[in-house]
């Protein structure tokens, strides 16, 4: 306990100078006006606007704290730092990127306020973009462990493409769109937060779901080829199970 005669130091206030954001848009490729723009460029647009509107010297920015969930693909590589450089900020303005899923943005603002109020920093920018649609490719399958966003796996034309995805945690839904040829997809020991939607094309296809926990609905929609759908007893489906099979010779659970 401090002596009563020792001067107390008051905590300073954290003041919001300005705030801006990009327009909202539909998060679907080909439909959303912003869906084709790299997240780094979205962040740079906001940071550039803040500097122009407030007239700050970007060399005086102590830190840029960016909150971005699902930091893979275009959203990897410290978006806070890279967006600042893209916006033309002085190289002395550092940047950090954190991930607390849906709470990433508000956490970045809280951390900025803590830094100001503690007296360790004077000027901090907080925020961040989040494109919650992650498109994965076949080359990603061997390295996946956890994805917090909605996930899409779309196959290009190619005969006898066989994919096995094991022990991956998906925070939201997982959607698979098969190519026009003969494909096989196997989900082994995965956890999916919401829905699994598997769209199978017209080839001879196989779909297997083994030891996988699905938080909500499972939908399998097949084409006109000969398809096989297997779901073992170790899998759990929290919602409804819908199998829509085509006119071929099909095998289903």
pLDDT at 87 (0 to 100): 94
The yes-or-no verdict on residue 186 having pLDDT over 70 is yes
- Same domain as 228, residue 137: yes
Instruction: Give yes or no: residues 122 and 141 share one domain.
Output: no
Answer yes or no: are the C-beta atoms of 63 and 95 closer than 8 Å.
Answer: yes
202 and 139 belong to one structural domain: yes
Residue 237: pLDDT above 70?
yes
| Structure confidence at residue 2 (pLDDT) | 47
pLDDT, tens digit, 9 for 90 and up, residues 32-60: 677 667 788 889 999 999 999 999 999 99
pLDDT of 111 reads 96
Question: Is pLDDT larger for residue 81 or for residue 150?
Answer: 81
What is the CA 235 to chain-centroid distance, rounded? 25
Is the full-model pTM beyond 0.85?
no
* pLDDT, tens digit, 9 for 90 and up, residues 145-167: 555 556 666 666 655 566 667 77
Return the closest-CA partner of residue 165 out of 227, 221, 211.
Answer: 211
With vertex at residue 72, the alpha carbon angle to CA 116 and CA 84, rounded to the nearest 5 degrees, is 40
Query: What is the enclosing helix (H) or strand (E) of 113?
Result: helix 104-117
Do 137 and 232 reside in the same domain of the chain? yes
The pLDDT value recorded for residue 19 is 93
d(CA 93, CA 142): 36
Give yes or no for residue 1 having a pLDDT over 50: no
- 161 versus 193: the higher-pLDDT residue is 193
Any domain includes 226: yes
pLDDT of 253 strictly over 70: no
Contact 79, 68 (CB under 8 A): yes
Q: How would residue 93 be classed by pLDDT, with cut points 50, 70 and 90?
A: very high
**3-class DSSP assignment, residue 24:** coil
140, 173: one domain: yes
161 and 226 belong to one structural domain: yes
- The secondary structure of 35-47 as a DSSP string is TTS-HHHHHHHHH
> Domain check: are 158 and 100 in the same one?
no
User: How far apart (Å, rounded) are the C-alpha atoms in residues 178 and 161?
Assistant: 9
Domain of 160, in residue numbers: 133-244
Shared domain check, 188 and 117:
no
Q: How many domains does the structure of the chain reveal?
A: 2
Are the CB atoms for 36 and 29 separated by under 8 Å? Answer: yes
Rounded-to-integer distance, Cα 226 and Cα 146, Å: 32
Q: Which residue did the predictor score with more confidence, 26 or 246?
A: 246
Neighbours of 121 (CB within 10 A): 14
Instruction: Tell me: do 138 and 89 sit in the same domain.
Output: no
Dump the DSSP string for 227-244. Answer: EEEEE-TT-EESS-EEEE
Q: Are residues 142 and 202 in the same domain?
A: yes
Look at residue 134 in the predicted model and tell me its pLDDT. Answer: 54
Task: Work out the mean pLDDT of the chain and round it to a whole number.
Answer: 79
> Residue 39: what pLDDT?
83
Sheet holding 63-67, edge to edge: 94-98, 63-67, 124-127
Secondary structure percentages of the chain, helix, strand, coil, to 5: 20, 30, 50
Residues 6+ apart with CB under 8 A from 163: 138, 141, 153, 183, 184, 185, 186
CATH number of domain containing 67 = 3.40.47.10
Q: Is pLDDT at 135 greater than 60 in this prediction?
A: no
Residue 32 inside a domain? The answer is no
């Amino acid at each position: 306990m401090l002596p009563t005669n020792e001067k107390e130091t008051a905590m300073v206030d954290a003041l919001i100078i300005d705030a801006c954001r990009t327009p909202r848009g539909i998060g679907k490729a080909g439909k959303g006006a912003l869906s084709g723009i790299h997240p780094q460029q979205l962040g740079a647009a906001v940071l550039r606007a803040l500097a122009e509107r407030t007239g700050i010297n970007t060399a005086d920015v102590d830190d840029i704290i960016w909150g971005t969930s699902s930091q893979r693909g275009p959203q990897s590589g410290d978006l806070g730092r890279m967006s600042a450089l893209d916006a033309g900020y002085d190289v002395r303005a550092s940047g950090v990127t954190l991930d607390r899923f849906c709470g990433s943005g508000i956490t970045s603002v809280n951390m900025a306020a803590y830094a100001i109020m503690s007296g360790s920093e004077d000027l901090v920018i907080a925020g961040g973009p989040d494109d919650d649609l992650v498109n994965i490719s076949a080359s990603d399958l061997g390295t996946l462990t956890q994805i917090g966003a909605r996930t899409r796996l779309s196959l290009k034309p190619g005969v006898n493409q066989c994919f096995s995805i094991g022990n991956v945690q998906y925070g939201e839904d997982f959607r698979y769109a098969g190519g026009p040829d003969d494909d096989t997809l196997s989900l082994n020991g995965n956890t999916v937060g919401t829905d699994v939607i598997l769209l199978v094309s017209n080839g001879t296809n196989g779909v297997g779901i083994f030891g996988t926990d699905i938080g909500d609905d499972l939908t399998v929609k097949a084409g006109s080829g000969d398809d096989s759908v297997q779901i073992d007893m170790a899998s759990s489906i929290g919602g409804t199970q819908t199998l829509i099979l085509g006119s071929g010779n099909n095998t289903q659970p």
